[in-house]
A and B are shown apart, each in its own frame.
Chain A
Amino acid sequence: MALAKRIIPCLDVDAGRVVKGVQFVDIRDAGDPVEIARRYDQEGADEITFLDITASSDERETMAHVVEQVAGEVFIPLTVGGGIRTTDDIRRMLNAGADKVGINTAAIFNPDFVREAAERFGSQCIVVSIDAKTVSAEDEAPRWEIFTHGGRKPTGIDALAWAVKMQEYGAGEILLTSMDRDGTKRGFNLPLTAAVSAAVHIPVIASGGVGNLDHLVDGITKGHADAVLAASIFHFGEYSIGQAKQHMAEAGIEVRL
């Protein structure tokens, strides 16, 4: 009798299509988001996250429409991130059927937005996304900083202090992406994940760098994450969600089978 660690497939959606970039550059088309979400649900995904990477704001409605279609037939928690800047953006996604929204850049420019969003909609639906990169040299004590613009722009904000601050502002969960690992298939940044998980009392989702099923196990056992998020290993049929769960269960991790 224990809470299961969650496996969350993430769909990067550009203008209504699922894509996955390697460090945000080489983008491959992986298909129809509604069809893929349906498949993940059948395979036993614990939640599904949609990341709207559409550059233009005219395509925002496309994302809401995708969520609406998925929410009509997939009855597990759905999170939408990307381009969430105002309470109206949040309301639109919740009305479309999302259960949680991910706030990233908007929180950095205006931390009070997180507080306002949590007060208005409840902490349970506010996920703060943190994109962090290691900034310390190899012989130094590790330090991680928040980056924006797909990992290109440093902000000078310390990742651990930021996670604690976002918890205080009402975040219900943290989606932690290691920007030096994202798309590399070399596994999560485990020291970063463990440090953030120890610094906050809200759940932490590890993201960025999953290349095989052992990486998912490490995220839980070594990174002490509460959930693991991955995109490309699931989209291109390398592994099914079922295989991932089986592998985690064999490693002694509590999962929903």
Chain B
Amino acid sequence: MTSIAIIDYGMGNLHSISKALEHAAPDARVEVTADHGRIRDADRVVFPGVGAIRDCMAELKRYDLVETIRSAASEKPFLGICLGMQALLDHSEENGGIPCLGIIEGEVRYFGERPRDPTSGEILKVPHMGWNQVRHRREHPLWQGIPDNDRFYFVHSYYVEPANPDDTVGAAEYSREFAAAVARDSLFAVQFHPEKSQHAGLRLLANFAAWDGQP
């Protein structure tokens, strides 16, 4: 039986992700925790987050979780979600500029207040909210059973731009192409909410619960 620790550092409601993991992986032991030992001992780690990046980084420091997250991200299957993805980058433009964890090289950027669709010229709303298509940039065990261009549920105003294009495993478009999913070694991170993305999302969570951490 695999154990999954969902890191609880006060950034958002973890009810959904916990319920969805229990549903997608009924054999897994799912635990919501801020305890270093529990996170270290878990077979897999989920790093969620909603809200603003300044609060996110401040809370990670307050809970003294930075090093725990850094080692989990390099040692075992690790899934960053939404703000938990953005925090993995070097730096975010949000809140006037905030240094992040620097686990994945690159920047987190703002869509802008009224970006336009490059093809239609239509003004787009921000946040980018709703179901958008994710194109697989390359094969990955976490895409198993999920069709290319399937839709996932997004809610965000900032997007991730990895310095190394090879880190992007899934791309979506909203005024521009952006990284909907990044992966490196045993780390996988998504901008969308798999716990709110019905079949495709549950499949991704089931894949994560079964993943051996090999790319």
Contacts and interface: CB of A to CB of B under 8 A. Distances in A.
Interface of A: 1-6, 41, 46, 71-73, 75-77, 94-97, 99, 121-125, 172-173, 201-204, 226-227, 256
17 contacts: A1-B135, A1-B149, A2-B173, A4-B131, A46-B131, A71-B16, A75-B201, A76-B197, A76-B198, A97-B19, A121-B51, A122-B12, A122-B52, A123-B127, A172-B155, A226-B125, A256-B131
Contact of B13 (A1, A94, A202, A203): A94
Nearest to A198: B123
B130 A46 contact: yes
Nearest to A91: B13
Given A95-B13, A122-B50, A1 B129 contact: no
Given A1-B172, A3-B174, A6-B131, A97 B117 contact: no
A109 B177 CA distance: 42
A249 to B, nearest CB: 13
Given A1-B172, A2-B117, A41-B198, A71 B131 contact: no
B114 A201 contact: yes
- The dominant DSSP class at the B interface is mixed
A72 B197 CA distance: 14
B62 interface: no
**Interface SS, A side:** loop
B128 A202 contact: no
Task: Name the residue in B23, B52, B133, B198 with the highest tally of chain A Cβ atoms < 10 Å from its Cβ.
Answer: B198
A164 to B, nearest CB: 13
Interface string B1-24: 000000000001101100110010
Interface size class of B (residues with CB under 8 A): 35 or more
Contacts of A122: 12, 50-52
A99 B201 CA distance: 16
A124 B12 CA distance: 10
Given A4-B132, A124-B156, 8 more contacts: A2-B133, A4-B131, A75-B19, A75-B197, A97-B19, A99-B13, A172-B155, A203-B127
A196 B131 CA distance: 22
Contacts of A2: 117, 132-133, 173
Contacts of A96: 15
Contacts of A73: 23
B130 A6 contact: yes
Given A75-B197, A122-B51, A203-B125, A97 B130 contact: no
A226 to B, nearest CB: 6
A202 B126 contact: yes
A184 B113 CA distance: 35
A4 B129 contact: no
A201 B125 contact: yes
A73 B198 CA distance: 10
A201 B132 contact: no
Contacts of B135: 1
Nearest to B49: A122
Nearest to A94: B13
A99 B17 CA distance: 11
Interface string B92-126: 00000000000000000000011001000000111
A37 B23 CA distance: 17
A94 B130 CA distance: 19
A123 B126 CA distance: 11
Query: Which residue of B15, B51, B129, B173 has the most chain A CB atoms within 10 A of its CB atom?
Result: B129
The listed residue with most B CB atoms (<10 A of its CB), out of A1, A41, A123, A203, is A1
A5 B126 CA distance: 14
Contacts of B151: 4, 256
A71 B198 contact: no
Nearest to A41: B198
Contact of B153 (A5, A77, A97, A204): A77
Contact of B130 (A3, A95, A204): A3
A165 B154 CA distance: 25
B23 A75 contact: yes
